[in-house]
A and B are shown apart, each in its own frame.
Chain A
Amino acid sequence: MLLALPVVVLGQASIEGRVPLPKGSSVSVVNKRYEIVSKGGIVSTNPPLAVVYLEGTFPKPSPAPVAQMVQKDLAFVPMLLPVQVGTKVEFPNQDDTYHNIFSYSAPKRFDLGRYRADEHPVPFQIFDVPGLETLRCDIHEHMRGLILVLDTPYFVLSGTDGVFRLTGLPPGRYTLKAWINSKTTLERPVELRDGSVTQVDFQ
C-alpha cells in the first residue's frame, strides 16, 4: 500500500494536508467503532473519513491488484475500502456463521450467496467500473460496508481528523480529490515536482 511507504522516494512527489470533515456521532467514536450511515440518501462513514486521490490518466495495473473486505464479528473490516478499477476484492468470512454479501449499487450488482468461513475459493468480485458500492448482508440486516472504486492507483484514506499523506506520486499537473460522502467530493488543482512535498488543505 502507498501509505506504508516510510520515506519519500527521490524523484517522486508527495502531498500532505487536511480535509475538513463533518462532525460524527460521539457515541461511535468512544466505542472506536466505524459504521456506515445513510441519511437523506447520503452515505457516509461514522466517524467521518475521507478518501483522497489523485485524478489523471494512469496506466492500467498489471497484474490486477487484490484487496480484501473481511466479515468479522458481524461487521465489514474495513468499513470503507478504496480500490483501483480492475481490483479483485475478496470477501472472506471470519465469523462462525453464514454471510450472504450482496450489492445493488450501480457500478456492480452482485450476490455472493450464502457462504461460511471455510468457503474455498474465497468469494470475490472484480470491480471494473468506478463508483461507490454499498455492501449489505442478506442475513445480518445491520451490516453495511462501502467500496469506493477509483480510476487511479494513487489514493489514501484520511485519519478521523482529516489529515492525509499521499506519497510516491509521479510529477505533473493533476486534480486532487477528496471523497467525503456519496454526495460530496472536494477538489483542488495540484502541480507536483520531483521530490517535492506539496501542502494541500481542502478548506
Chain B
Amino acid sequence: MMLVVSALTAVVIYFAERSAAATVARELERRFQTGLDAFHNVQEIRQAILVERCRALVRKSRIHAALEDDALDLLYPNAEDELRDVMADGQDQPPEQARYALQALFYRFLDRHGTVIKPPNMKRVGVLQPGEEARLSLPVVPEQLNLGYVARQLGAEAGPISEVIAMPIVSSETGEVIAAIALGFKPVDFGRGDLEIKSGLWVDDMLWLASLPDPAREAVGRAVAQSLSSGAPEHQFEISIGDTPCLLFYKLLNLGSLFPPAYEVCLYPLTELAARQGKLRWQIGGAGLLLLLGGLIASNFVSIQLSLPVEKLEHDSAENLEQRKRVEAVLDSTSEELQRSIRFSADASHQLKTPVTLLRAGLEELLVNEKLEPASREEISALVHQTLQLTSIIEDLLLLSRMDAGRLQIEFGSVDLRQLVEALLDDLGALPNVLHLTIETDFPAALLVAGENRYTSLILQNLLENARKYNQPGGRIRVEAHEDSGGWVSLTVGNTGRPIPPAAQEHIFERFHRGVVGENVPGHGLGLNLARELAHLHHGELRLVRSDETWTEFEVKFISAKPQPATEPA
C-alpha cells in the first residue's frame, strides 16, 4: 500500500504540475491573442476613417492639381484644411480619442516613387527629425494600406516608437496610384489584464520594452533575434532571464507591409506559475504523507484525501475560465462601444456621401452629352441640384450626430458678429432676389461674442436663410443686435413671412419639422434644430420671440466677448 500511495502521489503531482502549466500557458496565449485582436479592431476602425478621408482628399481638385500639375509646393497648404480633424493639435483630446490614439502625430505625402515629399512647414504637419522622416520613404509607392513602426529619436515627446499607416492616393481619372500619405500615431497599448505580462515591440532589429532592466532586455532581444532567424512569423517559447523562467511570445504585426517587419513581443515571468506549482506540490506531498501514515489503518480515506487536490485543481480551472470569460466580455463590449462611437462618422460619410457624390458625378456626366434635349437637360440639372441638397442634409445630420455623441466641442474664441452678419447678408444679396426683399440692419460698431467662427456662422446662416425663404414677395428682413448689461449679446432676425401657427410653434425646433408654409420652399427641417443645438453649445439660447400676421422674429443669445476698454477700437 505504501508503494501504491507513493506512486499515486508522484503521479498526481506530475499531472497536476503539467495541467497547471498548460492551463496558465493557454490562458496567457489567449490573452495575448485577445489583446492583439482588440488592437486589430482599432486598426480597422482607424483605417476605415482614414480611407474615407484620403478618398475625399484625392477628389479635391486642388490636391489633384498639386500632385499632377507639378505644384508640390501647394500640396501641404491645400491638405492642411482637409486633415485638420485628423491631426492632434496639442490640446486635450477627448479621453476615448486619446486612448485609441485616433489623432495623428504627423503626416507626410509620398511621391509616385514612394519618397517623402518634404513639407514646407514642419510645425503644421508634425515635427520629425531627418532620420525619422527618411524612414517613412518606401521602396515603391504603396498600392494598398501599409502598416509600419518607426523608431523615434531618444527623448522624443511622442514616445520611443510611432505607428505609421501609409495609404495610396489613387487618381480618380485613371485609377493610377499617384502618391501616398503616411500618418503617424502613438501606438495603441491595451495592457494585458491582471497578468504580469510585459509587452513591447521589435522594430529594426531592436527590442523596445521599457519596463525591463537593460540586461534582461538584451537577453530577450537575443532570444527573439535567434528565433526570428528561423523565419517563423509568430512563436512561443520558454527562456530564463537571470534565474527566472519566462514565457516569451512574439507575433508579426504588419504582414505584407513595405515597411520593415515589426513584432509584438510579450514576456511573462513564470514565477507565479512556479509558486502555484510549489503550493500544489506541498499540498499533495502533505496529503501523501498523511496517507502514508494512515494508509494501513484507513485505506478508504486515501481516495477521499486524493480527490481533494483534484477538486482544488478543478476549482482553480473553473475560476480561470470564469475570469477569462469576464475579461473577454469586457473586451467585447469595449470593442463594440468603440465601434459604435467612432465608426459612425466614417460609416455615415462613406455610406451616405459617396453614393450621392457618385450620383452627382453621373448626372453631371449626362449633362455633358451635347445631344440632350433641353427638357431632359433641365430635368437632370434639377436632379443635380437635388443631390446638392442631399449632401447638405447629410452634412447637417453628421454635425448633429457628432453633437449627439458629445464629440463636437466649440473652440471658443472671439467672433465678430457684425462682420459675420455682413458677410452672410452679402451672400444673400448674391442670390436671385425673386421676392424683392428689403434688408434692414441695426448694429453697434463692435459686437464680439464668445464662439467658434464656423459654428456661430452656421447659426446665423440658418436664421437668415429662413427669413429669406419663408418671406413674402416685397417683404422685409430686419437684423438687430445689441449688448445688454448682463454680458449677453442678443441678435434678432425678423421677417414679414407668414405666421407660424401657435400649435406648430413648440415643434419648430424639432428635427425634420417643416412649417406648413414650406411645401414649395427648399429645406429639410434640420436647420432650426441644428441652430438651437449649436447655440446651446455656445452656452447661449435660440428662441422664437413672436410670430403673428405681420412679423416673425427669432432671437439668439451669445455670451459677450467684449474686449477691455483700453483695447476697444475708437
Binding site for B on A (CB under 8 A): 31-33, 37-41, 73-75, 96, 102-106, 109, 134, 136-142
Query: Is the beta-carbon distance between B381 and A96 smaller than 8 angstroms?
Result: yes
One of B22-30, B360-368, B439-447, B497-505 contacting the partner: B360-368
Query: Is the beta-carbon distance between A102 and B62 smaller than 8 angstroms?
Result: yes
Query: Is the beta-carbon distance between B59 and A141 smaller than 8 angstroms?
Result: yes
Identify the closest chain B residue to A138 (Cβ): B61
Give every chain A residue within 8 A of B65 (Cβ-Cβ). 102-104, 134, 136
Give every chain B residue within 8 A of A41 (Cβ-Cβ). 68, 112
30 contacts between A and B (CB under 8 A): A31-B369, A32-B370, A33-B368, A37-B174, A38-B68, A38-B171, A38-B173, A39-B174, A41-B68, A73-B368, A74-B364, A74-B367, A75-B368, A96-B381, A102-B61, A102-B62, A102-B65, A103-B65, A104-B65, A104-B70, A104-B71, A105-B69, A105-B71, A134-B65, A136-B61, A136-B62, A137-B61, A139-B61, A141-B60, A142-B364
Known A73-B368, A140-B364; contact A37-B173, beta-carbon cutoff 8 A: yes
* Cα(A134)–Cα(B70), bound, Å: 11
Identify the closest chain B residue to A109 (Cβ): B71
Query: Is the beta-carbon distance between B364 and A38 smaller than 8 angstroms?
Result: no
Known A137-B61, A138-B61, A141-B61; contact A104-B367, beta-carbon cutoff 8 A: no
Identify the closest chain A residue to B68 (Cβ): A38
Give every chain A residue within 8 A of B62 (Cβ-Cβ). 102, 104, 136, 138
* Cα(A104)–Cα(B74), bound, Å: 8
B176 CB-CB contact with A under 8 Å: yes
B66 CB-CB contact with A under 8 Å: yes
Cross-interface CB contact of A103 among B69, B112, B361, cutoff 8 Å: B69
* Cα(A32)–Cα(B368), bound, Å: 11
B64 CB-CB contact with A under 8 Å: yes
Interface centre among A32, A33, A73, A109 (most CB of B within 10 A): A73
Identify the closest chain B residue to A31 (Cβ): B369
Give every chain A residue within 8 A of B365 (Cβ-Cβ). 142
Interface string of B358-394 (1 = CB under 8 A from A): 0001001101111000000000010000000000000
Known A37-B173, A136-B64; contact A74-B70, beta-carbon cutoff 8 A: no
Query: Is the beta-carbon distance between B364 and A104 smaller than 8 angstroms?
Result: no
B438 CB-CB contact with A under 8 Å: no
B75 to chain A, nearest CB (A): 10
Known A74-B364, A106-B70; contact A38-B174, beta-carbon cutoff 8 A: yes
* Cα(A134)–Cα(B174), bound, Å: 17
Number of A-B contacts (CB under 8 A): 61
A74-B364, A105-B69, A141-B172 known; 5 other A-B pairs, CB under 8 Å?
A: A37-B174, A38-B68, A102-B61, A134-B68, A141-B61
A56 to chain B, nearest CB (A): 28
Give every chain B residue within 8 A of A73 (Cβ-Cβ). 367-368, 370
Identify the closest chain A residue to B62 (Cβ): A138
Interface of A is mostly: loop
* Cα(A109)–Cα(B71), bound, Å: 9
Query: Is the beta-carbon distance between A134 and B69 smaller than 8 angstroms?
Result: yes
Known A31-B369, A74-B364, A74-B367; contact A141-B174, beta-carbon cutoff 8 A: no
B81 to chain A, nearest CB (A): 13
Identify the closest chain B residue to A143 (Cβ): B61
* Cα(A172)–Cα(B68), bound, Å: 39
A185 to chain B, nearest CB (A): 17
A26 to chain B, nearest CB (A): 17
B72 to chain A, nearest CB (A): 9
Identify the closest chain A residue to B71 (Cβ): A104
Give every chain A residue within 8 A of B176 (Cβ-Cβ). 39-40
Give every chain B residue within 8 A of A109 (Cβ-Cβ). 71
A49 to chain B, nearest CB (A): 18
B76 to chain A, nearest CB (A): 13
Query: Is the beta-carbon distance between A104 and B66 smaller than 8 angstroms?
Result: yes
B384 to chain A, nearest CB (A): 8
Give every chain A residue within 8 A of B364 (Cβ-Cβ). 74, 140, 142
Give every chain A residue within 8 A of B66 (Cβ-Cβ). 104
Identify the closest chain B residue to A96 (Cβ): B381
Interface string of B329-372 (1 = CB under 8 A from A): 00000000000000000000000000000000100110111100
Interface string of B43-64 (1 = CB under 8 A from A): 0000000000000000111101
B402 to chain A, nearest CB (A): 25
B350 to chain A, nearest CB (A): 18
Identify the closest chain B residue to A32 (Cβ): B370
Interface centre among B61, B70, B369 (most CB of A within 10 A): B61
Give every chain A residue within 8 A of B370 (Cβ-Cβ). 32-33, 73
Give every chain A residue within 8 A of B361 (Cβ-Cβ). 142
Identify the closest chain A residue to B360 (Cβ): A140
B198 to chain A, nearest CB (A): 50
Interface centre among A37, A41, A141 (most CB of B within 10 A): A141
Give every chain B residue within 8 A of A38 (Cβ-Cβ). 68, 171, 173-174
Give every chain A residue within 8 A of B381 (Cβ-Cβ). 96
* Cα(A134)–Cα(B361), bound, Å: 21
B66 to chain A, nearest CB (A): 6
Cross-interface CB contact of B69 among A40, A104, A137, A141, cutoff 8 Å: A104
* Cα(A33)–Cα(B66), bound, Å: 26
* Cα(A33)–Cα(B366), bound, Å: 12
Give every chain B residue within 8 A of A136 (Cβ-Cβ). 61-62, 64-65
* Cα(A103)–Cα(B68), bound, Å: 11
* Cα(A142)–Cα(B172), bound, Å: 9
A138 to chain B, nearest CB (A): 5
Give every chain A residue within 8 A of B112 (Cβ-Cβ). 41
Give every chain A residue within 8 A of B74 (Cβ-Cβ). 104
* Cα(A106)–Cα(B74), bound, Å: 12
Q: 5 tightest A-B contacts by CB? A: A104-B71, A104-B65, A104-B69, A136-B61, A134-B69
Give every chain B residue within 8 A of A142 (Cβ-Cβ). 361, 364-365
Interface centre among B60, B365, B368 (most CB of A within 10 A): B368
* Cα(A39)–Cα(B381), bound, Å: 30
B523 to chain A, nearest CB (A): 20
A145 to chain B, nearest CB (A): 12
Identify the closest chain A residue to B369 (Cβ): A31
B538 to chain A, nearest CB (A): 29
B314 to chain A, nearest CB (A): 67
Give every chain A residue within 8 A of B70 (Cβ-Cβ). 104-106
Give every chain B residue within 8 A of A141 (Cβ-Cβ). 59-61, 64, 172
Give every chain A residue within 8 A of B172 (Cβ-Cβ). 141
Identify the closest chain A residue to B63 (Cβ): A141
